[in-house]
């Protein structure tokens, strides 16, 4: 399969937007959307929604759900202050087959008041650094341009663009919106940055959060030590039990930290807590880790007592046949464009985990290329703006045209 005449027009139309893509990237990178900066997220939401409406998309906002309070992580966190973020779903086309759900997050991990604020283009204009430039403002920018190019050229496409504002903090507010949308679509595309070398992630582990809270009895360490029951000692036992859980060879991980416990060195502590994260390759290992954590919990009136809370919010994303076919379809587009698209596994998680868990075959690293994610060195390969936008536009067009039944059929459009 090579590019059809219409697909060659798509390639040219994206190429002609080269400087517009860069300017749009600058605009979005310089709107700070990290650190629960709802003003920045709202501005991003408005800018993108206006363009989606301009394409004739039907748009609606889905209010966010609240996040369990214990997930604050002992570090202050966002709980109790943060207004649950709203997700936007904009839909175009009413096909009953070949419906594409495109998911993008507007938030970043970067402090909105920190020094890393601007898009700085390197001499030679091949790369640039900036907060969220690859994760995932670049992805948002190319997806928006891809949809506009398809509309401009009259290419029929059936898609929903879902924008959320809490991916970096676990998608607690927008998970319901994602699951609801996943049900009505045939293919999922998430705009996370490509893996190193431009690779597509086809398998992801799952991830979960937990908190172990212990309760003891306070006593003066000098006068009444024997009357006390140390919550810290009990927590230490629990931590050692968790430390025995991981089986890295089988892909299970359990990490503990941060910790809290005690108020003064001369008082037996009556409360302590630890937060942690688990990673697992499949539902069975998630259940096994969950059962091990739950087994640490004691009866409510036990002394010392242990309460375990957990939220395994990112299910594992194993390679399923539908996702493999979708990945091969994306690879076909890349190769028709003269690019390569290697496949890889990753220990990271994203909203693609939720989309596929909701039954939607999903590939989730169709965004731009770059690196230094979640660091002040985050960078983007600027040539990927055009290349990945071309790939995305043609992929969306082919998926919309071919329908899910025709995934392996050659493209017949001319």
Q: Which residues bind Zn ion (CB under 5 A)?
A: 135-136, 192
Distance, CA of 218 to CA of 259 (rounded, Å): 19
Q: CB under 8 Å to 197, separation ≥6 — which residues?
A: 342
Nearer to Zn ion, 136 or 182 (CB): 136
Distance, CA of 351 to CA of 207 (rounded, Å): 11
CB of 193 to Zn ion, least distance (A): 7
CB of 49 to Zn ion, least distance (A): 20
Token digits for 237? 């036992």
Nearer to Zn ion, 148 or 364 (CB): 364
Nearer to Zn ion, 174 or 285 (CB): 174
CB of 351 to Zn ion, least distance (A): 8
Nearer to Zn ion, 17 or 105 (CB): 105
DSSP letters along 155-224, please? ----EEEEEES-GGGTSTTTHHHHHHHHHT-SEEEEBPPPBGGGBEEEEE-EEEEEEEEEE-B-EETTTS
Nearer to Zn ion, 135 or 336 (CB): 135
Nearer to Zn ion, 350 or 407 (CB): 350
Distance, CA of 358 to CA of 356 (rounded, Å): 5
Token digits for 185? 């679509």
CB of 336 to Zn ion, least distance (A): 27
Residue of closest CB approach to Zn ion: 135
Please report the beta strands in 137-205, taking only residues with DSSP state E, as ranges in sequence order: 159-164, 187-190, 200-204
CB of 40 to Zn ion, least distance (A): 16
Nearer to Zn ion, 164 or 400 (CB): 164
How far is C-alpha 286 from the chain's CA centre? 19
CB of 167 to Zn ion, least distance (A): 6
Whose CA is closest to 185, among 151, 159, 163?
159
Specify whether the CB–CB gap between 355 and 103 falls below 8 A: yes
Count of all residues that appear for the chain in the document: 414
CB of 29 to Zn ion, least distance (A): 14
């Amino acid at each position: 399969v090579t590019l059809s005449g219409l697909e060659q027009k798509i390639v040219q139309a994206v190429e002609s937007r080269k400087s517009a893509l860069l300017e749009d990237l600058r605009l979005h990178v310089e709107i700070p959307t990290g650190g629960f900066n709802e003003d920045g997220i709202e501005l991003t939401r408005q800018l993108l929604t206006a363009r989606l409406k301009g394409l004739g998309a039907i748009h609606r906002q889905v209010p966010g759900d609240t996040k369990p309070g214990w997930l604050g992580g002992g570090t202050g966190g966002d709980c109790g202050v943060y207004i649950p973020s709203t997700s936007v779903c904009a839909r175009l086309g009413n096909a009953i087959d070949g419906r594409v759900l495109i998911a993008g997050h507007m938030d970043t991990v970067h402090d909105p008041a920190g020094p890393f604020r601007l898009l700085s283009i390197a001499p030679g204009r091949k790369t640039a650094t900036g907060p969220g430039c690859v994760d995932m403002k670049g992805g948002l920018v190319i997806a928006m341009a891809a949809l506009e190019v398809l509309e401009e050229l009259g290419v029929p496409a059936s898609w929903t663009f879902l924008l959320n504002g809490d991916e970096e903090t676990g998608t607690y507010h927008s998970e319901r919106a994602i699951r609801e949308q996943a049900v009505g679509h045939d293919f999922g595309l998430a705009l996370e940055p490509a893996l190193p070398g431009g690779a597509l992630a086809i398998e992801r582990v799952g991830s979960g959060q937990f908190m172990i809270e212990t309760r003891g009895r306070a006593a003066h360490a000098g006068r009444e030590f024997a009357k006390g029951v140390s919550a810290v000692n009990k927590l230490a036992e629990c931590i050692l039990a968790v430390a025995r859980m991981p089986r890295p060879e089988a892909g299970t991980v359990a990490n503990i930290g941060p910790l809290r416990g005690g108020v003064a060195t001369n008082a037996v502590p009556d409360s302590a807590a630890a937060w942690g994260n688990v990673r697992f390759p499949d539902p069975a290992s998630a259940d096994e880790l969950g059962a091990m954590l739950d087994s640490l919990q004691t009866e409510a009136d036990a002394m010392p007592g242990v309460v375990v809370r957990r939220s395994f919010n990112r299910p594992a994303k194993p390679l399923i046949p539908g996702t493999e076919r979708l990945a091969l379809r994306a690879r076909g587009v890349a190769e028709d464009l003269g690019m390569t698209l290697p496949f890889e596994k990753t220990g990271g998680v994203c909203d693609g985990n939720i989309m596929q868990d909701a039954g939607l075959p999903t590939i989730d690293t169709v965004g731009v290329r770059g690196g230094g994610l979640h660091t002040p060195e985050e960078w983007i390969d600027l040539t990927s703006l055009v290349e990945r936008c071309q790939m995305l536009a043609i992929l969306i067009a082919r998926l919309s045209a071919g329908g899910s039944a025709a995934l392996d059929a050659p493209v017949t459009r001319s």
